[in-house]
Amino acid sequence: MLKKFNILFFAVLFFGLFSAPLFAQTAAELEELLQVQAVNYGQAARFVLAAADAAYLQDPEQAHAYAVEQRWLPKKAAAKPARLNDVSLLLMRAFDMRGGMWYSLTKSPHHAYRELVYKDIIQGRSDPEMTVSGEELLFLINRLLSYQENAADGKDWP
């Protein structure tokens, strides 16, 4: 199990350090994020917005305030554990992703979650109300960036 974690850790760390959108994070920040069992909304906003090229939002509170202003995250929740459906909406809106009919009509966290499940960015068993760990957040960002890269190159998504 430890070997699997070390391989995953170094893969995420390598991708995080050498991909352009994540240059703003240092290795120490990424390592700290990987240890978090449940990220809060401020942390989620900070890392998602940095990956989406909004690197000027380095402070979690400032990133959360921006996401709230854009109506991507709930108000007064910066320190609360982030739920997967809210993180899904943050990802879809920050990366300006298009969705299906229901997401396009509602722009709701539930339909953003369903859209990311459909696009196979969220994999395996999940619940829209579950909290998101730091490792899961980095995994989702990585999957979304890969999805967008494949879409830009005209390749099929696995």
pLDDT digits (tens, 9 = 90+) for 110-125: 999 999 999 999 998 9
Q: What would the mean pLDDT of 70-83 be, rounded to a whole number?
A: 89
What is the residue-averaged pLDDT of the chain? 83
Q: Is 70's pLDDT higher than 50?
A: yes
- Which of 9-13, 27-31, 42-46, 81-85 is modeled with the greatest confidence? 81-85
Q: Is 75's pLDDT higher than 90?
A: no
Cα-based angle 70, 126, 88 (whole degrees, multiple of 5): 15
Q: What is the pLDDT of residue 31?
A: 87
Q: What would the mean pLDDT of 131-153 be, rounded to a whole number?
A: 92
> Can you give the pTM of this predicted structure?
0.78
